[in-house]
Structures are given as structure tokens and as C-alpha cells.
Amino acid sequence: TQLLEQSPQFLSIQEGENLTVYCNSSSVFSSLQWYRQEPGEGPVLLVTVVTGGEVKKLKRLTFQFGDARKDSSLHITAAQPGDTGLYLCAGPPSAGNMLTFGGGTRLMVKP
């Protein structure tokens, strides 16, 4: 079973601070996706990283895929209260088309 572990599980910071969320596995993934989920809603796809070492930027969010394609990180610069939510990483296992999800990081940004 290919597992994805996210850290930290919970993060509470002040508006304007920077933060990094990690997604790690002992297995290689062909791609990793990052989602953001708000209470009562479904996960919303933020980005897909495919190539080892790839870096993608989405406004204040920077996503990186590890060289060995076993890990990924999400860095948020100057966090805002609107960034509050559950951040999930997910990837397709070697066999199958479904997604394996990490446990998520609950981020709270206080004004």
C-alpha cells in the first residue's frame, strides 16, 4: 500500500506569516495533486505536479515535487485568513486509477 503522510497535521498562524506543508511517501508517485477543502465542501484541486523537481506557483502558493517523486511541499507566503482550510495531497498508486490521500493539514490563519 502506498501511503502519503502529511505534516504538520494542524497549523495555526498569524496573518502575514509564511508556512510550509509537507507530503511524504516511501513510494514513488507518477504525479501528486494538492487539494484544498473547506468545511462542508468537496476538495478543490489546486495543482498537479508531474516531473521530479518541478516547481509550480499559484499566486502566493508554491508547490514542489521532490526529485525522486516521493515527496512534495506546499509553501504559502504571507498567509491570509482566506487561506484557512484543510490542505490535502493525493496521488495515484502504481496500480490503479484511484487517488491515495494524505491525512491532511488543517491550517488556520488568524487576522
Decide: is 44 part of the binding site for another protein (CB under 8 A). yes
Interaction between residue 82 and another protein (CB under 8 A): no
Give the integer Cα–Cα distance in Å for 102 and 99: 10
39: cell is: 468545511
Contact between 3 and another protein by CB under 8 A: the answer reads no
| Residue 43 touches another protein, criterion: CB under 8 A | yes
Continuous segment of H or E residues that includes residue 71:
strand 71-76
With beta carbons less than 8 A apart as the criterion, state whether 84 and 109 touch.
yes
Binding range to another protein, per CB under 8 A, among 18-26, 27-35, 60-68, 71-79: 27-35
Q: Does 77 bind another protein (CB under 8 A)?
A: no
